């Protein structure tokens, strides 16, 4: 999967959402206010998040904000500190935002992306329901 493949999938399934590109990173939103994304594609390290070594050529990380129950079903109470956040094609807790129930995968394969698709739907629906409240 490429960043373009993932972006196209989200465009095709956003249902009223949109995306914004900033500093080569892509942020996917529901609604028009751009308060908080439900998913992101990050292409490089920054001063707050360098755990994934995204500065490698051709490397990007897909991040998805899921619900607490889904996060715990995937990872239990697993601490992020014990995970190799540089591993490719492996669903894992986000290196910085795991406490907020974000998951991530670096350069997902088509097979792994099939696993991520329902997480993207959940993330979008969670954000949409919060915006209605």
Instruction: Tell me how far apart the alpha carbons of residues 79 and 38 are, in angstroms, rounded to a whole number.
Output: 22
Percent of residues, the chain, with pLDDT higher than 70: 95
Instruction: Tell me how far apart the alpha carbons of residues 66 and 125 are, in angstroms, rounded to a whole number.
Output: 10
Mind spelling out the 3-state secondary structure of 8-40?
HHHHHHCCCCEEEEECCEEEEECCCCCCCCCEE
- The mean pLDDT of 76-98, rounded to a whole number, is 87
Which residue ranges make up each domain of the chain? Answer: 3-132
- Here the tokens at position 117 are 């698709």
The architecture in CATH of the region 3-132 reads: Alpha-Beta Complex (3.90)
Q: What is the pLDDT of residues 16-56, one digit of tens each?
A: 788 999 999 999 998 777 789 999 999 999 988 999 999 99
């Amino acid at each position: 999967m490429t960043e373009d493949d993932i972006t196209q999938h989200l465009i095709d399934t956003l249902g009223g959402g949109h995306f914004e590109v900033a500093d080569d990173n892509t942020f996917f939103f529901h609604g028009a206010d751009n308060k908080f994304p439900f998913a992101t594609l990050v292409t490089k390290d920054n001063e707050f998040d360098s755990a994934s070594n995204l500065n490698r050529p051709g490397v990007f990380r897909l991040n998805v904000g899921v619900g607490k129950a889904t996060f715990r079903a995937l990872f239990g109470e697993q601490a992020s500190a014990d995970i190799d956040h540089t591993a490719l094609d492996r669903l894992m807790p986000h290196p910085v935002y795991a406490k907020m129930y974000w998951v991530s995968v670096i350069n997902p394969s088509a097979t792994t992306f099939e696993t991520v698709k329902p997480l993207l739907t959940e993330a979008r629906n969670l954000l949409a329901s919060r915006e209605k409240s």
